[in-house]
Copies of this chain bind each other. A is one copy, B any other.
Amino acid sequence: MPNPSRNPTRSYHLRRSPPVVAIIGATGAVGNELLGVLERRRFPLAVLRAYASPRSAGSVLPFCGRDLTVEALSADSFDGVDLALFSAGSKTAREYAPIAVRNGAVAIDNSSAFRMDPVVPLVVPEINQAEIEGHNGIIANPNCAAIIALLPLWPIHRRNPIRRVVIATYQAASGAGAAAMTELREATLAFLEDRPYPPRVLPHPYAFNLFSHDTPIDPAIGYNDEETKVISETRKIFGAPDLRIGVTCIRVPVLRAHAMALTVECEQPITPEEACGFLSDMPGVRLIDDRERNHFPMPSDATGQDAVLVGRIRRDLSDPSGRSLAVFAAGDQLLKGAALNAVQIAERLLP
C-alpha cells in the first residue's frame, strides 16, 4: 500500500508555476507525444525547452502553433528548469536526471533506470498518486505494458485482492521507438510489393509476423526484461510484493497500442458482473464489452485514446472455484503507456 510521505521535510511540488519545462528526448516517439499531451491538456508553461542528442539538434517541432527548436542535451541544459520530462532511455536518464534534480527540478523519467529504486516513487496516478509525495526529485513512469495491465487490475485488486495473474501481451511497434514504427510500415510495404527487407531495428522480420519481446533474456529463468519489468513493477505499484505473476510478452505487427489477455485469480469468488461494476467506476478505464456486436478492446480503437479499453470480461473456465476471471485490454502505448501518464504525474506536482 502507498507510503504517503517518504520525505516529509521537502515540498513535493514544483518550485514555481507556471514552470520552466524541459523535454529530454523530444524527437523520439514518446517525446513527440509529450508535446502533444502538454498542448492538449493546456499544461501551464513558463517556457518549454526541447532537448535531444546532438544529431537531432536544430530540428524544429511544432508546439501550440509555434516552432520549437531542439537543442543538444548537455549538463548545462537544466539551468532554471523546474520540471524535466525524460523520454530518452536509461543511460541518458542515469546521467542527466541527477543533474536536473541538483538544479532544483523534478525529473519524471520514462526509462527503467530508477523504477525499482526503493526511494523513487513508481506512479500510475489513478492507482498510487499518494506515492508522489515522497519523491526525492525523481519520479519514475512505469513500463508501458505494466501501466496498461494495472489500470484494469487495480479496481478489482482493491476490492478483492488479486493472488495470481497470467498475462499474454500483444505489444505494438511503438514500444521500441519511432524507428521500429517506421520499420513495421516499411517492412510491410516491402512484403506487399514482394521486395526483400532486412530487419534493421528489430531482430526479426516484422511484416505480418510476431515474435517474443526483443529484450535480453535472463538465462536462469528464461524471462525477458520486459516480462520481469511487468512482474516487479506491478508488485511495487500495488504494494504487493508476493503477488504471483506469469507473463509472456509478444511483439505484434501493430503500430502504437498494446493489447493483453489477463487471467486474474482473486482471494474471494468474483463474478464478471461485479468486475464490470468495479471497472466502470475506475478513472482512466473505458469498458467496451459488447458481446452481441463482437466489439471489444482493439488497438485501432485504443490508438489516440487516453483511456485503457477493457472488455471480454468473463469467468476463467479453467478455475472452477469462481475466483478467476478472464479480461482483455488495449491501451495507447505512447499515451497512457508513456507520455500521458508522465504528464498526469506532472499535473499533480503543480503547486
Contacts and interface: CB of A to CB of B under 8 A. Distances in A.
Interface stretch (A38-46, A104-112, A117-125, A185-193): A185-193
Given A185-B192, A192-B185, A328-B248, A212 B296 contact: yes
A252 B300 CA distance: 12
A211 B298 contact: yes
A177 to B, nearest CB: 16
Given A192-B185, A250-B261, A245 B318 contact: yes
A115 to B, nearest CB: 19
A32 interface: no
Contact of A261 (B184, B208, B248): B248
A203 interface: yes
Interface in A245-259: 245-248, 250, 252-255, 259
Contacts of A16: none
A313 interface: yes
A312 interface: yes
A222 B271 CA distance: 12
Interface stretch (A51-59, A62-70, A85-93, A164-172): A164-172
B165 A222 contact: no
A221 B271 CA distance: 11
Interface in A152-210: 164-166, 168, 170, 184-185, 188-189, 192, 203-205, 208-210
A320 interface: yes
Nearest to A243: B318
Contacts of A60: none
A236 to B, nearest CB: 16
Given A253-B254, A326-B248, A259 B203 contact: no
A324 B164 CA distance: 13
A210 B312 CA distance: 14
A219 B291 contact: yes
Classify chain A's interface size.
35 or more
Contacts of A208: 184, 188, 253-255, 299-300
Contacts of A328: 212, 248, 250
A314 interface: yes
Interface of A: 164-166, 168, 170, 184-185, 188-189, 192, 203-205, 208-212, 214, 216-217, 219, 221-224, 231, 244-248, 250, 252-255, 259, 261, 263, 272, 291-292, 294, 296, 298-300, 312-320, 324, 326, 328
Given A205-B300, A231-B317, A244-B317, 8 more contacts: A166-B263, A203-B294, A209-B254, A212-B296, A222-B313, A224-B294, A246-B319, A246-B326
28 contacts: A164-B318, A168-B248, A168-B261, A170-B170, A185-B192, A188-B192, A189-B189, A208-B255, A208-B299, A209-B254, A209-B299, A210-B254, A211-B296, A211-B298, A216-B294, A219-B292, A221-B317, A222-B272, A223-B317, A245-B317, A245-B318, A246-B319, A248-B312, A248-B326, A250-B261, A252-B253, A253-B253, A253-B254
